[in-house]
Amino acid sequence: MQKTFDIAVVGGGLVGMAIAFGLAKRGKRVVVCDGEDNALRAARGNFGLVWVQGKGANCVNYARWSLHSADAWQGFADELLARSGVSIGFCRPGGFNIAQSREELASKAEAMQRLHLAEPRLKFEVLESKELAQRLPAVGPHAAGAIYSPNDGHVSPLYTLRALFAAYERVGGEYAPNANVTEINPTSGSFRLRVANGHTLEAGRVVLAAGLGNRTLAPQVGLRAPVKPLRGQILVTERVRPFLAHPTIYVRQTVEGSVLVGDSAEDVGFNDGVTPDVLADIARRAIAPFPLLEHVRVVRAWGALRVMTPDGLPIYEESASHPGAYLATCHSGVTLAAAHCDTVAPWILGGDRPALLDTFYANRFAV
């Protein structure tokens, strides 16, 4: 039996669910077509930073887009709690980017100063080692300093995804699990989606938010998604006493007390496993600034694949040849979730394309 919707969102990760929730709460009949449980899912391997600091070093509009979303995050979190009853642990106390040497600190400070000159709303402080120790007493003697920015925060990505699902369903959204979309056929004024279970769906508009799956789906509706996987590995420790009230770019303590550590990037294709050498390096770089972690037990580790464009920036685009088909892809599904829900969704519903998105067309990769 074929079902008809106003909009079909392909992909049930953080990007797809934030957009789908934004569409459904505005009264549209929306279906999310999701893959199998064992599909590659960046949303379930996320570190959980709502991070602005340092983003957009080569594209200030990306810094502005990230700040736009981060500024909207508190309202987004409050709405998710009200609609889903799920507390997602969001807080925005500002974040630290710790440097291991004076040269590294100077380099980070120079990059932040360039961004600040281009966009004065990007705030930061340069902290020498003594100042850093006063702000983060758990920092050991080998940290040379840090950049602090009040623009940064963190959240539980898994609770966020759970809250998005609950909120989406409560505003009438429909979820189709094990519905891997294999084919999209533009028809007269709509799109017919064929899914792996043999069913078909018809929707007036379609949003491609399938992460790495967008590579094959986008060309079917006249779009380009030149994305590739970039693996990151993460360690999680046992719960320990609170010692880190602020997130850092590669160590953060959750509200439950466990510590997440991770800052790796590997081009290994679609291998989302873990490797001892990378995990050991991650642990060493976490213990260097935080010596107390040396005797904390690791309880699990995982690898996940980021969804990366050649320049690391997002793509947001409506198809010129098949109007009504949209592409949304990025590797910052947490940071940008608030903007996806309340800035991107209204555009998909027929509003003006937000000026902040003008940089993020795929034709920037044309040669």
List pLDDT tens digits, range 68-88: 999 999 999 999 999 999 999
- Contact call for residues 67 and 121 (beta carbons, < 8 A): yes
What's the pLDDT tens digit per position in 118-168? 999 999 999 999 999 999 999 998 899 999 999 999 999 999 999 999 999
Token reading at 350? 């027929």
Residues 10 and 33: beta-carbon distance below 8 Å: yes
Residue type at position 241:
R
H/E stretch holding 315 reads strand 315-318
Predicted confidence band of residue 46 (pLDDT cuts 50, 70, 90) = confident
What is the crossing angle of helices 60-84 and 157-170, to 10°?
Answer: 60
The string of DSSP letters for 29-49 reads -EEEE---TTS--GGGG---E
Taking only the tens place, the pLDDT of each residue in 258-317 is 999 998 899 999 999 999 999 999 999 999 999 999 999 999 999 989 999 999 999 999
pLDDT of residue 2 exceeding 90, the answer is: no
The C-alpha atoms of residue 285 and residue 88 are separated, in whole angstroms, by: 28
Is the Cβ–Cβ distance between 291 and 284 less than 8 Å? Answer: no
Distance CA 198, CA 51 (A): 41
Domain ranges of the chain: 4-49+158-226+311-360, 95-150, 228-308
CA-based nearest residue to 307, from 326, 328, 329: 329
The pair of structure tokens assigned to 29 is 């009949």
What tokens does 224 get? 């380009």
The rounded distance, in Å, linking the Cα atoms of 42 and 25 is: 25
Q: Which CATH class is domain 228-308?
A: alpha beta
pTM here is: 0.95
Contacts of residue 148, defined as CB under 8 A and 6 or more positions apart, other chains included, come to 94, 95, 96, 124, 125, 127, 135, 246
Q: How far is CA 290 from CA 23, 195, 199, 278, in A?
A: 43, 48, 53, 18
Instruction: Locate 71 and state its tokens.
Output: 């500024």
Note the pLDDT of residue 189: 84
pLDDT for 182 = 93
Question: Is the confidence at residue 358, as pLDDT, over 70?
Answer: yes
User: Which CATH number is 4-49+158-226+311-360 given?
Assistant: 3.50.50.60
Q: What percent of the chain is predicted at pLDDT more than 90?
A: 88
Q: What average pLDDT does the segment 197-226 reach?
A: 94
* Dist. CA 352–CA 66, nearest whole Å: 19
Element (H, E) at 23: helix 14-24
